[in-house]
Amino acid sequence: MAATDFKDYYDILGVSKSASADELKKAFRKLARKYHPDMNPGNKQAEARFKEVNEAYEVLSDPDKRRKYDQFGQYWKQAGNGMGGGWPGGGASPGVDFGGFDFSQYGSFDEFINELLGRMGSSAGGPGGARRTYYRSPSGGPTGFGYDDFGGATAANLDREANLSLSFSEAFQGVQKSFSLGTENLTVRIPAGAKSGSRIRVRGKGNSMGAQRGDLYLKVELQPHSFFQFEGDNLVCEVPVAPDEAVLGASIEVPTPEGNVTVNVPAGIRSGQSLRLRGKGWPNPKGGRGDQLVKINIVTPKELSPVEREYYEKIRSSRTHNPRSHLSQVRL
């Protein structure tokens, strides 16, 4: 590094020049975790910052290098024997004690970084025999692992996610669910208004890294209902009506999540048209209710009584409306 490229390693780590080895180690761990490429995918600025942090700690955690750095400042490299090869950034060779860390146990500086981040595991695999997945650094070497089963750790995140199946009734009213998570027994209150895709956050029940622990996210999946469905935020249902009800209009009973209500079907309604029941739909977790849409389906009878047939024949013989009159002008 040229003299004009001098970097203040104390400033990079955010510590004073009198910082102890433990203070250096603590600052390094915090910054290395913050700027690690796995936690900032595609962020070149974070990657550069990560390299600076590594470089600063590599020098200041070594008593001999730190002494030379403190004594000669920007010319510290020229004042000593320099750094040995074989480590990223010209770092010291394995076997040097960096702030209490014995490099002889590591195959590369990347492995040393991972140890500080608390992300190296035993060779036996993950908890419960989970499959281990390796992640690679920009230089191509393995930098960590994750577990891809429920409750597994990931290289860049302490949070975890699990699916939670709810009936429409449970989701509409809210429900308390109890289940086991590894050795823990959890009871979680699901608020009214959850829908498929909703995520319920349970703080402090995620994966752990040392003293830190992430959050658990429960992803809601609603079991299919025989009558109700969703279209966006609206609750939707389909209601059959008879031809005479569609022609003349009628008052019909329509189910809602809280029971039946009377709905007025206007005369002349067509199949596929919807009636909106305001405030009768799905609850909003932040308060209030959405709307329920009632789709009309005109159903013709397959079997007729003699009287019904007689009247339908009278209607046909006296009908003045031709629903296909507009088709006479259709041409290619």
| Domain around 8 | 3-116
What are the CA-CA distances from residue 71 to residues 177, 265, 297 (Å)? 63, 91, 88
- Is 147 within a domain? yes
Q: What is the CATH number of the domain that holds 282?
A: 2.60.260.20
Looking at the structure, tell me whether residues 163 and 237 fall in a common domain: no
For residue range 14-70, what is the model confidence (pLDDT) as tens digits? 988 888 888 888 888 888 888 887 778 888 888 888 888 888 888 898 888 888 888
- Is 72 within a domain? yes
Q: What is the pLDDT of residue 205?
A: 87
Count of H-run helices and E-run strands, the chain:
9, 17
Amino acid at 281: G
Which band of pLDDT confidence, cut at 50, 70 and 90, is reported for residue 294? very high
Looking at the structure, tell me whether residues 112 and 8 fall in a common domain: yes
Question: What's the number of domains the chain is made of?
Answer: 3
- pTM for this entry: 0.51
- By CB atoms closer than 10 A (0-12, 13-18, 19+), residue 202 is middle
The rounded Cα 151 to chain-centroid distance in angstroms is 14
- Is 184 within a domain? yes
Nearest Cα neighbor of 86 from 61, 67, 104, 62 is: 104
> 240: part of which helix (H) or strand (E)?
strand 234-241
Whether residue 80 is predicted with pLDDT greater than 60 in this model: the reply is no
DSSP-based three-state secondary structure for 314? helix
Q: What is the CATH number of the domain that holds 80?
A: 1.10.287.110
Q: What is the pLDDT of residue 78?
A: 62
Among 26-35, 99-108, 165-174, the range with the most confident prediction by mean pLDDT is 165-174
Q: Which of 161, 192, 222 is the last residue of a domain?
A: 222
- Is 328 within a domain? no
Looking at the structure, tell me whether residues 73 and 137 fall in a common domain: no
Q: What is the pLDDT of residue 113?
A: 52
- Is 307 within a domain? yes
Q: Which of 192, 222, 252 is the last residue of a domain?
A: 222
Residue 295 · residue 237 · CB < 8 Å:
yes
Whether residue 261 is predicted with pLDDT greater than 60 in this model: the reply is yes
Q: What is the pLDDT of residue 130?
A: 35
Q: Which of 94, 116, 138 is the last residue of a domain?
A: 116
- Is 148 within a domain? yes
Looking at the structure, tell me whether residues 18 and 107 fall in a common domain: yes
